[in-house]
Structure 1
Amino acid sequence: MLSFLESVRSALQSIYAHRFRSFLTSLGIIIGVASVIAVVSIVQGLSASISKEFKGLGSNSLTVEAYTTFEEALQGKENVLGLNDYERIVTHIDDISNVSPMFAPFGNFGTTVRAGATSTFTQVMAVTEAYMESAQVFPAQGRFLRASDDKSRRRVAVVGSKTLENLRLTGDPLGQFIDIGGEWFKIIGITEEKGESLGFSKDNYILIPFSVGQVIAGTTTKLNISISFTVDDIEQIDAVQGRVTSLLRQAHHLKPGQRNDFKVQTAQQLSESFESIISTLTLVLGGVVSISLLVGGIGIMNIMLVSVTERTREIGICKALGAQRHHILMQFLIEATTLSLLGGLVGLLLGYLIGFGAAKLIPNFPDAFVPWWAIAMAFGFSSLVGILFGIMPAAKAANLHPIDALRYE
Structure 2
Amino acid sequence: MLILFEAFRSAIRAILASKMRSFLTSLGIIIGVASIIAVVSLVKGLETSITDQFEGYGSNSLFIQQKRDNYGRLQGNLTDDDLIKLRGIDGIEVISPQTFVFEYNGVQYQGKDHSADVVGVMPDYAEMDSSYPEIGRFITTADANGRKKVAVIGVKVQEELGLPENPIGEFIQYGPHWLKVIGVLESKGQMLGQDLDNYVYIPYPTAISIMGFQKQPFVIFVARVSDVDRMAAITERVKQTLRRQHGINGDEESDFTIQSSDQVLSSIGQVTQVITLVFGGIVGISLLVGGIGIMNIMLVSVTERTREVGICKALGATRADILLQFLLEAVIISLIGGLVGLAIGFGLGTAIASIIPNFPPSDVPAWAIALALGFSTGVGVIFGILPAAKAARLDPIDALRYE
TM-score relative to the length of structure 2: 0.87
Q: Structure 1 residue 12 and structure 2 residue 8: aligned? A: no
Letter in 2 for 1:18: S
Q: In the alignment, which of 124, 133, 146 is matched to residue 130 of structure 1?
A: 124
Give me the identity figure in percent.
48
Asked whether the 8 Å contact 2:98–2:220 carries over to 1, the reply is yes
Aligned to 1:298: 292
Aligned to 2:45: 45
Deviation for aligned residue 1:259:
5.8
Aligned to 2:22: 22
Deviation for aligned residue 1:307:
0.9
Aligned to 2:87: 90
Aligned to 1:358: 352
Q: Deviations over 1:160-192 (max 9, x none)?
A: 333233333448533333332212333333333
CA RMSD of superposed structures (Å): 2.8
C-alpha separation in 2, matches of 1:140 and 1:355: 32
- Counterparts in 2 of 1:4-403, with a 5 A limit? 4-68=4-68, 72-74=69-71, 78-83=74-79, 84-91=81-88, 93-106=89-102, 111-170=105-164, 173-197=167-191, 200-249=194-243, 251-252=245-246, 253=248, 255=250, 260-362=254-356, 365-403=359-397
Helix, strand or coil at the partner of 2:94: strand
C-alpha separation in 2, matches of 1:254 and 1:297: 61
Asked whether the 8 Å contact 2:42–2:349 carries over to 1, the reply is yes
C-alpha separation in 1, matches of 2:186 and 2:287: 48
C-alpha separation in 2, matches of 1:173 and 1:236: 44
C-alpha separation in 1, matches of 2:199 and 2:12: 62
C-alpha separation in 2, matches of 1:203 and 1:97: 28
Q: 1:363 to 1:322 in 2, by over 3 A?
A: same
Letter in 2 for 1:90: R
Helix, strand or coil at the partner of 1:393: helix
Asked whether the 8 Å contact 1:139–1:189 carries over to 2, the reply is yes
C-alpha separation in 1, matches of 2:11 and 2:283: 29
Q: Deviations over 1:29-85 (max 9, x none)?
A: 2222222222222322232233222222334332211233xxx324x7532332143
Q: Deviations over 1:213-262 (max 9, x none)?
A: 33332232123321112223344334323332343345552645x76543
Q: 1:295 to 1:247 in 2, by over 3 A?
A: same
Asked whether the 8 Å contact 1:123–1:204 carries over to 2, the reply is yes
Deviation for aligned residue 1:393:
1.4
Letter in 2 for 1:166: E
Helix, strand or coil at the partner of 1:58: coil
Helix, strand or coil at the partner of 1:136: coil
Q: 1:82 to 1:386 in 2, by over 3 A?
A: same
C-alpha separation in 2, matches of 1:24 and 1:170: 58
Deviation for aligned residue 1:198:
6.4
Q: 1:214 to 1:369 in 2, by over 3 A?
A: closer
C-alpha separation in 2, matches of 1:187 and 1:17: 71
Q: 1:393 to 1:259 in 2, by over 3 A?
A: farther
Letter in 2 for 1:300: I
Q: Deviations over 1:336-356 (max 9, x none)?
A: 112111221222223223333
Q: 1:400 to 1:141 in 2, by over 3 A?
A: closer
Asked whether the 8 Å contact 1:254–1:260 carries over to 2, the reply is no
Moved more, 31-40 or 240-249: 240-249
C-alpha separation in 2, matches of 1:173 and 1:327: 77
**What are structure 1's unaligned runs of at least 5 residues?**
none
Helix, strand or coil at the partner of 1:221: coil
Deviation for aligned residue 1:379:
1.8
Asked whether the 8 Å contact 1:98–1:133 carries over to 2, the reply is no
C-alpha separation in 2, matches of 1:113 and 1:242: 40
Asked whether the 8 Å contact 2:144–2:204 carries over to 1, the reply is yes
C-alpha separation in 2, matches of 1:353 and 1:189: 39
Moved more, 396-405 or 27-36: 396-405
Helix, strand or coil at the partner of 1:103: strand
Q: 1:174 to 1:327 in 2, by over 3 A?
A: closer
C-alpha separation in 2, matches of 1:356 and 1:152: 48
Q: Deviations over 1:75-114 (max 9, x none)?
A: x7532332143233123x112233222222435xx63323
